[in-house]
Amino acid sequence: MEQQKLPNATLILVFGILSIPTCCCYGIVGLILGIITIVMANKALKLYAENPEIYTTGLQNVKTGKILAIIGIVLSILYFVLTIAMIAMFGWEALQDQELMQERIQDMLGQ
């Protein structure tokens, strides 16, 4: 049989890498990229498990991409929870106005 590269191995790696820095986009973009990456990686790993002798390259990219996606998902969830907590504590207006944010923090600290 002809040797092949695992499908989407490079894309899985790229999406896994992108899921980490995009977690700072309120957690949503990183979460979406991470979930897409996990699904694609699981499909690729299933293909590899069915016929490991066909696929020579790409397995390491898939594994690395999956690990990075898990890290990206965790960071995205943490950032999303932090954003929700900040909105609940200070309000949406304070997040958009630096002076109002400083006033609310000083009020909270009793200064």
pLDDT, tens digit (0-9, with 9 covering 90-100), for 47-90:
999 998 998 889 999 999 999 999 999 999 999 999 999 899 88
**Cβ(70)–Cβ(18) below 8 Å:** no
| 57: β partners | 5
Total domain count, the chain: 1
Residue 97 lies in a domain: no
Residue 100 lies in a domain: no
Q: How many CB atoms lie within 10 A of CB 100?
A: 14
Show the domain range for 19.
8-82
Question: Which pLDDT belongs to residue 56?
Answer: 84
Place of tokens 């979460």: 31
CA atoms of 106 and 63, how far apart (whole Å): 47
Question: Which pLDDT belongs to residue 57?
Answer: 86
Question: pLDDT band for position 42 (50/70/90)?
Answer: very high
In tens, the pLDDT along 12-27 reads 999 999 999 999 888 8
* Rounded (10°) CA dihedral 78, 81, 86, 88: -170
Place of tokens 């498990």: 49
**Cβ(54)–Cβ(3) below 8 Å:** yes
Question: Which pLDDT belongs to residue 47?
Answer: 94
Residue 53 lies in a domain: yes
Question: Which pLDDT belongs to residue 1?
Answer: 64
